[in-house]
Amino acid sequence: MEHIVQALYDEQMEQFRQHFLKLHPYDQAKFYIKQSPEVRKRMYEYLSPAEMAEIFDHLDIEEEEYKTYLSEMDPLFVAQMLGHMYADNAADILSELDKKEVANYLTIMDNEAAKDIQGLLHYKEYTAGSIMTTEYIAIHANQTVRSAMQILKKEAAHAETIYYIYVVNEQHQLVGVLSLRELLTSDDDAMIADMMNDRVVSVFVDEDQEEVARKMQNYNFLSLPVVDANNHLLGIITVDDIVDVISEEATDDYSKLAGVPDVDIQYNPFEAAKKRLPWLIILLFLGMMTANLISRFEDTLQKVAILAVFIPLIAGMSGNTGTQSLAVAVRRLAMGDLEKEGKWSMLGREALTGLLIGLSCGLIITIVVYVWKQQFFLGVLVGLALFATLTVATVAGALIPLFMHKLRIDPAVASGPFITTLNDLISILIYFGLATMFMDYLL
């Protein structure tokens, strides 16, 4: 790396290229994003659009950052670079730009590359069409292995993957698939129709990317064909795109569970506060409802002041168990396990889990309070309240995501802070309701 940096600063192009191009494209991309704008501009002079395209194919940056990097380059250089990139990656970058910029780049780009990229830009975000690539290899069923191999050798350099070869008919409808191994180990005169697998697993172009990721995980494929309603082969989705989808969906779910709309370390404090405040203000008012509820039991607290000691314990435990149940429910919905298990079965299992947790914690706290304060009925009250709140909180943590899923709302929106605050209300109501009922024994 030191030789590369030094060559750049000394303006020694040949030495820079000699060391830099030996690096893996991922390492080249890491090097690129660490440099200052002045150094990057020198890299644009020393590298061809095709070489820069390989770097951009491996960049792992926020979408907004692409605008910054592209603005440093000459528009013609950008267009040529995008034309050399995989079509799906180029489309992802262009989707972040203004329509006018996109039109300019497509106009000066190679016609064939522009056509492929423009086709991908029309698909709805987060669908199979938006993450597929059109750089695949397709052959016909009435070909021999020998002629198929000729096509493979001709097009392999431009295809994103060659491990699966898809078979289409005259109308370009998907009719079969075979692996590269099958093609290489078959007789040259064998017909593709006789050796292909006609039971092809595919995804529809408008299918949600999360469903696509689940299907690829279930079947352990390296790529999946994408078809339209008439089974025309439109493109393929490769496993590297699915890895990005899984990471993106996991980050999105984590953000929502934390009550943060978008996790992004690039935000300055003002932008971060602006994004987090809406949720926190909602939770603030929910917290005021909890405070108002406690104030309604002011007489109970005045008569038995020691009840206030256990408020944080009751509320905190209900929030914790509710968040655990929420995480399990959201995870099962995301992974599609709910379809196998059934919602009532899951609710029953969570309710039983809540009963066992509540019973265990209730018995423990009853004994602890009795030993600590030497008050049997106080221990029974706290134990019974904890048992009831943990059971209800566990069921609520599972029920709310199911309800949101039924309304076609992302279950992850039922965030941890929201569930915690809601369970605070329920737990306080149960705790002081029981305390009022047990008042004679407590006095």
| 292 pLDDT above the threshold of 70 | yes
- What pLDDT, on the 0 to 100 scale, is given for residue 244? 80
Residues 384, 273, single domain; the answer is yes
Collect all residues with Cβ–Cβ distance below 8 Å to 136 and sequence separation of at least 6: 159, 160, 161, 166, 223, 225, 233, 235, 236
CATH number at residue 350: 1.10.357.20
**Residue 209 placed within a domain:** yes
Distance of CA 165 to the CA centre of its chain: 29
**Residue 61 placed within a domain:** yes
Average pLDDT in the 237-252 region? Answer: 79
Taking only the tens place, the pLDDT of each residue in 297-308 is 888 878 788 888
Do residues 386 and 314 touch, judged by C-beta distance below 8 A?
Answer: yes
| 270 pLDDT above the threshold of 70 | yes
CATH number at residue 114: 1.25.60.10
> What SS3 class is residue 205?
coil
Residues 80, 161, single domain; the answer is no
**Residue 250 placed within a domain:** no
Residues 317, 409, single domain; the answer is yes
CATH number at residue 175: 3.10.580.10
Q: Which residue segment(s) compose the domain that 196 sits in?
A: 138-239
Residues 345, 227, single domain; the answer is no
Rounded to 5 degrees, what angle do the CA atoms 265, 267, 269 make?
110
> What SS3 class is residue 127?
strand
Rounded distance between C-alpha atoms, residue 178 and residue 197, angstroms: 6
Residues 144, 107, single domain; the answer is no
Do residues 293 and 428 touch, judged by C-beta distance below 8 A?
Answer: yes
Residues 117, 186, single domain; the answer is no
Residue 261: band (very low, low, confident or very high) from pLDDT cuts 50, 70, 90: low
Residues 94, 198, single domain; the answer is no
Q: What values do phi and psi take at 178, rounded to 5?
A: -145, 155
**Residue 179 placed within a domain:** yes
**Residue 321 placed within a domain:** yes
**Residue 192 placed within a domain:** yes
Residues 185, 118, single domain; the answer is no
Last residue of a domain, one of 57, 88, 122: 122
Do residues 177 and 221 touch, judged by C-beta distance below 8 A?
Answer: no
On average, the pLDDT of the chain sits at 86
Taking only the tens place, the pLDDT of each residue in 12-53 is 899 999 999 999 999 999 999 999 998 899 999 999 999 999
Do residues 57 and 26 touch, judged by C-beta distance below 8 A?
Answer: no
Residues 308, 223, single domain; the answer is no
Taking only the tens place, the pLDDT of each residue in 326-379 is 878 877 776 666 666 677 888 888 889 999 999 999 999 999 998 998 888 888
Taking only the tens place, the pLDDT of each residue in 117-131 is 988 888 988 899 989
Residues 112, 202, single domain; the answer is no
- What pLDDT, on the 0 to 100 scale, is given for residue 424? 84
Last residue of a domain, one of 92, 122, 152: 122
Residues 156, 118, single domain; the answer is no
**Residue 254 placed within a domain:** no
Placement of tokens 């002081």 in the chain: 432
Do residues 176 and 197 touch, judged by C-beta distance below 8 A?
Answer: yes
Taking only the tens place, the pLDDT of each residue in 185-219 is 999 999 999 999 999 999 999 999 888 988 888 88
Burial profile 123-161: b = 16 or more Cβ within 10 angstroms, e = fewer:
beebbbbbbbbbbbbbbbbebebeebbeebeeeeeebbb
Do residues 197 and 178 touch, judged by C-beta distance below 8 A?
Answer: yes
Higher pLDDT, 100 or 251: 100
Residues 19, 84, single domain; the answer is yes
Q: Is the pTM of this model over 0.85?
A: no
Residue type, 367: I
- What pLDDT, on the 0 to 100 scale, is given for residue 416? 63
**Residue 255 placed within a domain:** no
Last residue of a domain, one of 67, 96, 122: 122
Count of the separate structural domains present in the chain: 3
Burial class, 169, CB count within 10 angstroms (exposed 0-12 / middle 13-18 / buried 19+): middle
